[in-house]
Amino acid sequence: MGRLDGKVAHVTGAASGIGEACVQRFAAEGAIVYGTDIAEPTDFAGHDFSSLDVTDEAAQMAQGARIAEKQGRVDIVVTAAGIAAGGPIHTLSVADWQRCQDINLTGTMVSIKAVLPAMLAQRSGSIITVASVEGLEGCEGGSTYNASKGGVVLLTKNVACDYGPSGIRANAICPGFIDTPMLRDTLVDGSDFKNAIIGQHKLRRFGESHEIASAALFLGSDDASFVTGVALPVDGGYNAGHAYGLGEAFGQM
């Protein structure tokens, strides 16, 4: 018996990385899974996949209505669609800034809005947003991405406040740096920058997509029935505090 038996889940950004891992894990736990992305998935056999831009409100609302009509309910949504962006703000165009906000923040809002009619009708549901540890604290060059993910954190908390009385839970997962195609496209192997980021993870490695999917599984399951309004770091200790190598210098490690 799976932890999501009989539940209907919708995952955005489902073609790769964290979204793809959530699709696979949810299906393995018995969920009926729908996924959307602007990219084509490498393997989506046995699941319902639609090509969709998360910023397209009409398409998103139609997708939410289609799932509800076909299945009679929507139990879980995971908003994993997003892009990387950044740079000191004096180097950014307003267009580049806005594109990141549109996809990461507004796209999350619209993804939530699309499933709310079904969740309100059934008076239950689990909304799981994918934010970031960079939505909890700043970092060099992170301006637009960090702002978008900080917005996702507070949006999620507000959703928890607004819809808790209707039995709907909302929680944000805040991953550390996860070994996904997006991260690999951003960082160069062996660079000092990459090594410094790894060093800020107290487990001294990047995370894996399946580790984020495990957290999403918990939040989507009945095991988290009294958990809402949480921004959950799943980050290998990145957000635990600063590390400068003093333990190694003192011979403690």
The CATH number given to whatever domain includes residue 126 is 3.40.50.720
In a domain, 200, yes or no: yes
How much is the average pLDDT of 4-17? 96
User: Which residue stretches of 72-208 are H helix?
Assistant: 94-100, 107-122, 143-163, 181-186, 192-200
Instruction: Give the residue with greater pLDDT, 17 vs 246.
Output: 17
pLDDT at 190 over 60: no
Contacts of residue 70, defined as CB under 8 A and 6 or more positions apart, other chains included, come to none
Catalytic, 145? Answer yes
Query: What's residue 141's pLDDT?
Result: 85
Instruction: Give the residue with greater pLDDT, 44 vs 222.
Output: 222
Going edge to edge, which strands form the sheet with 8-12? Answer: 48-51, 32-37, 8-12, 76-79, 125-130, 168-175, 231-234
pLDDT at 65 over 80: yes
Query: What's residue 203's pLDDT?
Result: 93
In a domain, 105, yes or no: yes
pTM: 0.93
Per-residue CA distances from 116 to 16, 126, 155, 167, 211 (Å)? 25, 10, 14, 11, 27
In a domain, 161, yes or no: yes
In a domain, 114, yes or no: yes
pLDDT at 82 over 90: yes
Give the structural domain span for 184: 8-238
Q: What b/e string do you get for 115-150 counting C-beta neighbours within 10 Å, with b at 16 or more?
A: bbebbeebebbbbbbbbbbbbbeeeeebbbbbbbbb
In a domain, 134, yes or no: yes
pLDDT at 11 over 80: yes
In a domain, 248, yes or no: no
Per the structure, how many domains does the chain have? 1
In a domain, 55, yes or no: yes
Closest to 11 (Cα-Cα) out of 141, 2, 21:
21
Query: What's residue 46's pLDDT?
Result: 64
In a domain, 101, yes or no: yes
Q: How far apart are CA 197 and CA 2, in angstroms?
A: 36
pLDDT at 15 over 80: yes
